[in-house]
């Protein structure tokens, strides 16, 4: 029997209900029978999807939006204390619940798989959700992006497995108690919340320490940060009942990746798990996505699922919005959207696209995300852009941050030029789309890249190419 509503979640109000993480929890609660309400800054397809589930979604933030009978107000770390709805909740004594606590409550009574790591969380969580669904297991899931197939980022399923993306950015993944935890990689990011790599490691150690007794940590054997985490967790666990399964191309990996064969915008991966060789298709390009699929395979096997059946089911995953998502083709030019915003992600996606482009050129519109990240990693972002044939760099997308004096997209452009890249800055997004469309010819691949609103430019580029 699937779990019911957590206490105090019968009539929740979500501030910023349209966000990827917030909307997922709201959808699951609505599907479980809660009376869901919330607000967001603007209209969106997500707002409409929530209304279709019976939720009340207000546009704009006002104290009057908080219903008199609200049982809780759900917030994320992005919601500021001066938000009028949050202020009204505190004034009225309505319990304020962080998004991660709400998600943790939804996982109670299930067999949770929590997917963590600096990169690849959304893709790996999505692969598991789709594959488990293909196997008829009807999982619940909460993901930071919309799946191509089901077209949603969250679902309440009747099965016992709950797959969730576990966000390290604000340490909220410390709230979860998974049966299986995946750690894809451990790198320095989220500079507003972590001062050092040591703090990152301590945070991931805490997450690993939350795994249920008898549970499993599935962790990369190829990434230095992940290997360091494995050593720390082994030392801390001693002879405890935590099982650790490593995966990757390293010789000492428990689940060994033997080869990844690129096939255009897809690939084929061969692994050895428990002495048995499995070869299966991955419907997105790039070695890093193949490794994500192997992590998903190892996690499912840790839950006792048949590996051969799961490997075949992973081939049914067709992608998630913004993760190397094809947006269309015009005049022989393919346009693809990438959420990559950290240098490691950018490099991985550009290498994957380079392999898929063949003799064509790779042209990029890149939008740096967050002033703090650009200050710390902007030079590395610029060097990653040297993998493209030409790049146009937009202004920094601020998201939740205020500007930092002296930190602009020039940090990225200067580093790109120093690395030998063909890169230029452009403040006007429409002009950037026009520049790239003007450069593109048959066989070329255009990549819109970044975690902000650069995603909207794919349609603009296609429109200009068509004209």
pLDDT tens digits along 8-62: 899 999 999 998 789 999 999 999 999 999 999 999 888 999 999 999 999 999 9
> What per-residue confidence (pLDDT) applies to 319?
65
SS3 label, residue 258: strand
146 has pLDDT over 60: no
CA-to-CA separations, 7 to 56, 76, 106, in angstroms, rounded: 20, 19, 10
Domains of the chain: 12-97 (3.40.50.720), 109-314 (3.40.1190.10), 325-466 (3.90.190.20)
Q: Each residue of 218-227: pLDDT tens digit?
A: 999 999 999 9
Strands 111-116 and 96-98: unpaired
> What per-residue confidence (pLDDT) applies to 150?
46
Distance CA 381, CA 391 (A): 12
Distance CA 28, CA 408 (A): 39
SS3 label, residue 449: strand
DSSP state of 315: T
Distance CA 455, CA 464 (A): 16
Question: What per-residue string of b and e applies to 363-397 under the rule 16 or more CB within 10 Å gives b?
Answer: bbbbbbbbbbbbbbbbbbbbbbbbbbbbbbbbbbb
SS3 label, residue 412: helix
- Long-range contacts for 226-233 (Cβ within 8 Å, ≥24 apart)? 226/117, 226/183, 226/184, 226/185, 226/186, 228/186, 228/201, 229/183, 229/186, 229/201, 229/204, 229/205, 232/201, 232/205, 233/205, 233/208, 233/209
Distance CA 207, CA 383 (A): 32
> What per-residue confidence (pLDDT) applies to 35?
96
Q: What token pair was written down for 467?
A: 């004209």
**Which is more confident, 324 or 296?**
296
- From the annotation, which residues make up the binding site? 117-123
Residue 427 half-sphere exposure toward CB, CA atoms < 13 A:
1
Q: Which one, of 360, 154, 140, lies nearest residue 265 by Cα?
A: 360
Strands 333-338 and 140-142: unpaired
∠ CA 447-450-456, nearest 5°, is: 70
Q: Each residue of 357-402: pLDDT tens digit?
A: 888 999 999 999 999 999 999 999 999 999 999 999 999 999 878 9
**Which pLDDT band, with edges at 50, 70 and 90, does 148 fall under?**
very low
**Which is more confident, 451 or 279?**
279
Residues with a catalytic annotation lie at: 121-122, 165
Q: Each residue of 454-463: pLDDT tens digit?
A: 999 999 999 9
Distance CA 78, CA 452 (A): 15
Q: Each residue of 71-87: pLDDT tens digit?
A: 999 999 889 999 999 99
DSSP string, 10-47: SSEEEETTTSHHHHHHHHHHHHTT---EEEESS--HHH
- From the annotation, which residues make up the binding site for ATP? 117-123
What's the mean pLDDT when you consider all of the chain?
Answer: 91
Q: Each residue of 88-138: pLDDT tens digit?
A: 999 999 999 999 999 999 999 999 999 999 888 988 998 999 999 999 999
Sequence-separated (6 or more) residues with CB below 8 Å from residue 86:
15, 73, 75, 79, 80, 96
> What per-residue confidence (pLDDT) applies to 1?
38
């Amino acid at each position: 029997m699937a779990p019911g509503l957590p206490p105090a979640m019968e009539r929740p109000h979500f501030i910023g209900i349209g966000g990827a993480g917030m909307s997922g929890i709201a959808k699951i609660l609505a599907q479980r029978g809660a009376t869901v309400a919330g607000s967001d800054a603007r209209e969106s397809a997500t707002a409409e999807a929530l209304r279709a589930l019976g939720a009340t979604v207000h546009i704009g933030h006002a104290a009057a939006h908080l219903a008199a009978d609200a049982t809780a107000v759900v917030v994320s770390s992005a919601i500021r204390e001066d938000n009028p709805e949050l202020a009204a909740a505190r004034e009225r004594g309505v319990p304020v619940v962080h998004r991660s606590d709400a998600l943790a409550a939804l996982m109670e009574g299930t067999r949770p798989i929590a997917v963590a790591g600096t990169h690849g969380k959304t893709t790996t969580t999505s692969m598991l959700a789709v594959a488990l669904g293909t196997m008829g297991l009807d999982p619940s899931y909460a993901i930071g992006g919309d799946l191509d197939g089901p077209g949603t980022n969250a679902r309440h399923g009747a099965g016992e497995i709950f797959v969730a993306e576990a966000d390290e950015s604000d340490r909220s993944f410390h709230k979860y108690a998974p049966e299986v935890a995946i750690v894809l990689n451990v790198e320095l990011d989220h500079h507003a919340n972590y001062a050092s790599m040591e703090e990152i490691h301590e945070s991931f150690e805490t997450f690993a320490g939350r795994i249920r007794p008898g549970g499993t940590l599935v962790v990369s054997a190829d990434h230095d940060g992940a290997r360091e985490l494995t050593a720390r967790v082994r030392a801390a666990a001693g002879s405890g009942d935590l099982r650790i399964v490593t995966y990757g191309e390293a010789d000492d990996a428990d689940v060994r990746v033997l080869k990844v064969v690129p096939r255009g915008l897809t690939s084929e991966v061969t692994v050895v798990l428990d002495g048995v060789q499995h070869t299966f298709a991955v419907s997105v390009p790039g070695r890093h996505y193949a490794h994500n699929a192997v992590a998903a395979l190892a996690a499912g096997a840790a839950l006792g699922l048949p590996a051969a059946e799961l490997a075949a089911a992973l081939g049914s995953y067709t992608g998630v919005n913004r993760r190397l998502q094809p947006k269309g083709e015009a005049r022989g030019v393919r346009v693809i959207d990438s959420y990559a915003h950290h240098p490691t992600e950018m490099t991985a996606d550009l290498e994957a696209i380079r392999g898929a482009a063949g003799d064509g050129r790779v042209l990029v519109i890149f939008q740096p995300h967050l002033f703090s990240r650009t200050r710390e990693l902007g030079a590395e972002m610029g060097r990653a852009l040297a993998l493209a044939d030409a790049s146009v760099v937009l202004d920094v997308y601020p998201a939740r941050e205020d500007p930092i004096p002296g930190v602009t997209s020039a940090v990225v452009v200067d580093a790109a030029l120093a690395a030998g890249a063909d890169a230029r800055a452009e403040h006007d997004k429409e002009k950037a789309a026009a520049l790239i469309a003007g450069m593109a010819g048959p066989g070329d691949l255009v990549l819109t890249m970044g975690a902000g609103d650069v995603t909207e430019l794919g349609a603009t580029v296609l429109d200009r190419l068509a004209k």
